[in-house]
Amino acid sequence: MSFNYLRTGGKGYVITEGDGLAYSYSVYDSLGPVHRWADRVILIRTTGDAKSRCWFHPLLTSSGILVCALRENLEQR
């Protein structure tokens, strides 16, 4: 059972005064299809300190990630 499921009372979404309806999403949920399509995938942290104090990889603890998917030759696929 995921934390998001517990946090939202089993709904999978939250409704707040400022944001309205919001679903939790992680770029890591879509990395499988991106890796299958691309020849090279580059993940760039867009938020947080340059030096992470956490023992996790900085990409796992950042609140913002830029995903760059590069495909060398479109004709071969």
Per-residue pLDDT tens digits for 32-67 = 999 999 999 998 888 765 555 665 666 667 777 889
The pTM of the full predicted model, rounded to 2 decimals, is 0.56
Q: Which residue has the higher pLDDT, 51 or 21?
A: 21
Residue 9 or 2, more confident: 9
Burial of 32 (0-12, 13-18, 19+ CB in 10 A): exposed
Bigger pLDDT: 40 or 73? 40
Looking at residue 10, what is its pLDDT?
74
In whole angstroms, what is the distance from residue 67 CA to residue 43 CA?
Answer: 5
Domain around 56: 3-76
Counted domains in the chain:
1
